[in-house]
Chain A
């Protein structure tokens, strides 16, 4: 039963196109196939390139994550190292002569004990491990020797650094332990000659102390020091409520920030000056910066390498797509041209019985467009499938989902009909312009 015998069906250009396609299957199939290859090549290449971009982005995100984790670890390592290396900042009265400090080993001018709390509560983040100290070289009459008497209390909690503090505001890992009430810590040059050991009792200017711990030899002035609670030192030295220095740990990690601490301290304590052991800080910061720079350079080199690879792939894809499109266009052109030649007499009689040029053009362009539409759909599906299978293996599920983008599919769906129409245009125009008299009269 033909279509024409069914109710509502009428003879039309579309019916002629469809029946001719069925009649000449080989031409239609090979035409569609060539367009499918071109379209799927285009869609597949686009998806592969996108997959490559996503994979590169994923790689960089992983590398950046690794780098960030490494840098955090490095920072933590430096924090611990810096803490272990001791205080690197000394806050003094602004009238204190540094040369005199270097000469005597302790400051001769004073700060109020309350000053250390002002810094602790100021919200500064660049200082940590604040240790108020009152130091003075004195003659120890009971033992007949000079010692460096150091009055200390526990480190004052810096509230902007809660991570370092316990629940009761004590340092988890203080640089210097507090000296318990009634006790004293001794340097080796004090304890050894006097044969003092932990638990022994001694007096300094009438104040009695029990040896808490004896430090091993350090080769510094600490060996001549006796550490006692701050209030006792203030009493012995007759400096109630006074300290002559605040030791601290500067936790800035960039040499560019050297001096920033001094400015910040000045804002809190206008009558103070800051003595930074800058070379030490700078060296640490420099090492850290070098490590960060090295990581950055590795990342940049990898990125440049990936970009070069991508450019290479884009060049290859462009050449491939151009070849496929050219091949498909030539094939469609040849197919339609051959079809026009084969159907010369049909065109002649159609023109003779009243088909206008436009209607003949519609027949051939319609055939090209139909091939293009069919090929566009199949090509997009096969190209997308191949592209996803090929490039999606290294990607996450969501990454695979985002490989096929609407613009690529839309372009693929437009590309195939456009290609077919362009390639089929000239043969179709030739068909439309054939003179029916020439064809019929050639007999």
Chain B
């Protein structure tokens, strides 16, 4: 399994004695080549689940295994390194760095890993080319359309050859065409052996997933396996 989640719990205390159960005893496994979507209404705990699974937020209870490593049993520095080598993130807001160009944005994770090389740069160029952004390589994010920005974010997520891709509402800001394109690339990643955890409230996306989990009030309330996939 590329990602294994056991009994995750995350509760927020928002006021006196008021507790919000963002994630409440969730377990999940995602293997190589598997695309799993978690859908549900806003505020059901999807993003919290994704942040915990991606090693960005400590759970109150439960375990997250990335490959063989239990993410919350290792030091934050090691966890940072595990994250940058094995995980890619795509967010609804893209979060591109506005003052550097597309190629530099795609390459920016290599700073965290100190892994820049000519071959890595070539891979960045290949990804940019693959995502039909070659003519935009010197452009700044502000000069791109939203669909192009999300493709740049996807290329950035894939530059370090992660084994798991976490996508948080990746099509939330996109029109249908661009949403299809982005989903196509995410599916390609899974088809190439990557594991994908995709959270969304868009039921259409679920149809692209091998497995679709419904979430409500921090719990999984339904689990559909797509036989087509």
**A355's closest neighbor in chain B, by CB?**
B112
Which of A4, A20, A345, A359 meets B107, CB within 8 Å? A4
**Does B156 lie at the interface of the complex (its beta carbon under 8 Å from any beta carbon of A)?**
yes
Which of A2, A346, A356 meets B112, CB within 8 Å? A356
**Does A194 lie at the interface of the complex (its beta carbon under 8 Å from any beta carbon of B)?**
no
**Does B144 lie at the interface of the complex (its beta carbon under 8 Å from any beta carbon of A)?**
no
Count of chain B residues with a beta carbon within 8 Å of a chain A beta carbon: 39
* Contact A352–B111 (Cβ < 8 Å): no
Over the window 321-352 of chain A, the binary record of Cβ atoms lying under 8 Å from chain B Cβ atoms (1 yes, 0 no) is: 00000000000000000000000011011111
* Contact A5–B57 (Cβ < 8 Å): no
**Does B29 lie at the interface of the complex (its beta carbon under 8 Å from any beta carbon of A)?**
no
The smallest C-beta distance from A360 to any residue of chain B, in angstroms, reads 10
| Chain B hits for A16, CB < 8 A | 97, 100, 108, 111
**Does A163 lie at the interface of the complex (its beta carbon under 8 Å from any beta carbon of B)?**
no
The smallest C-beta distance from A340 to any residue of chain B, in angstroms, reads 15
| Chain A hits for B47, CB < 8 A | 440-441, 443
> How distant is the Cα of A328 from the Cα of B70 in the complex, in angstroms?
47
**B103's closest neighbor in chain A, by CB?**
A4
Q: Determine, out of A6-14, A51-59, A169-177, A241-249, the stretch whose residues face the partner at the interface.
A: A6-14
* Contact B56–A356 (Cβ < 8 Å): no
Instruction: Given A2-B101, A345-B93, A441-B51, verify A354-B113 contact (CB < 8 Å).
Output: yes
**Does A15 lie at the interface of the complex (its beta carbon under 8 Å from any beta carbon of B)?**
yes
> How distant is the Cα of A16 from the Cα of B97 in the complex, in angstroms?
9
**Does A145 lie at the interface of the complex (its beta carbon under 8 Å from any beta carbon of B)?**
no
* Contact B98–A356 (Cβ < 8 Å): no
| Chain B hits for A350, CB < 8 A | 97, 108, 112
Instruction: Given A443-B47, A443-B92, verify A353-B109 contact (CB < 8 Å).
Output: yes
**A352's closest neighbor in chain B, by CB?**
B89
Q: Determine, out of B78-86, B178-186, B208-216, the stretch whose residues face the partner at the interface.
A: B78-86
| Chain A hits for B121, CB < 8 A | 4
> How distant is the Cα of A24 from the Cα of B98 in the complex, in angstroms?
11
* Contact A2–B99 (Cβ < 8 Å): no
**Does B37 lie at the interface of the complex (its beta carbon under 8 Å from any beta carbon of A)?**
no
Instruction: Given A2-B104, A11-B104, verify A354-B56 contact (CB < 8 Å).
Output: no
* Contact B97–A352 (Cβ < 8 Å): no
* Contact B54–A352 (Cβ < 8 Å): yes
> How distant is the Cα of A353 from the Cα of B91 in the complex, in angstroms?
12
| Chain B hits for A354, CB < 8 A | 80-81, 83-85, 109, 112-113, 160
| Chain B hits for A24, CB < 8 A | 99
| Chain A hits for B97, CB < 8 A | 16, 346, 349-350
| Chain A hits for B100, CB < 8 A | 2, 15-16, 19
> How distant is the Cα of A351 from the Cα of B109 in the complex, in angstroms?
10
The smallest C-beta distance from B29 to any residue of chain A, in angstroms, reads 22
**Does A397 lie at the interface of the complex (its beta carbon under 8 Å from any beta carbon of B)?**
no
| Chain B hits for A22, CB < 8 A | 99
Instruction: Given A437-B51, A440-B91, verify A353-B108 contact (CB < 8 Å).
Output: yes
Q: Quick one: which of A156-209 are within 8 Å of B by CB? A: none
The smallest C-beta distance from B57 to any residue of chain A, in angstroms, reads 4
> How distant is the Cα of A4 from the Cα of B51 in the complex, in angstroms?
31
**Does A41 lie at the interface of the complex (its beta carbon under 8 Å from any beta carbon of B)?**
no
* Contact A437–B93 (Cβ < 8 Å): no
**Does A376 lie at the interface of the complex (its beta carbon under 8 Å from any beta carbon of B)?**
no
> How distant is the Cα of A352 from the Cα of B53 in the complex, in angstroms?
12
> How distant is the Cα of A74 from the Cα of B160 in the complex, in angstroms?
94
**Does B11 lie at the interface of the complex (its beta carbon under 8 Å from any beta carbon of A)?**
no
**A438's closest neighbor in chain B, by CB?**
B57
* Contact A10–B95 (Cβ < 8 Å): no
> How distant is the Cα of A14 from the Cα of B8 in the complex, in angstroms?
40
- Between A and B, 5 residue pairs with Cβ closer than 8 Å are A346-B98, A352-B83, A353-B157, A356-B80, A436-B56
Other than the given A352-B89, A441-B47, 13 more pairs (CB < 8 A) read A5-B138, A11-B111, A13-B111, A24-B99, A346-B97, A346-B98, A352-B95, A353-B112, A354-B81, A354-B85, A437-B57, A441-B57, A443-B92
CB-CB nearest 3 A-B residue pairs? A354-B84, A354-B112, A23-B99
- Chain A residues with a Cβ under 8 A of chain B: 1-2, 4-5, 10-13, 15-16, 19-20, 22-24, 345-346, 348-356, 359, 435-437, 440-441, 443
- Chain B residues with a Cβ under 8 A of chain A: 47-48, 51, 54, 56-57, 77, 80-81, 83-85, 89, 91-93, 95, 97-101, 103-104, 107-113, 116, 121, 137-138, 156-157, 160, 168
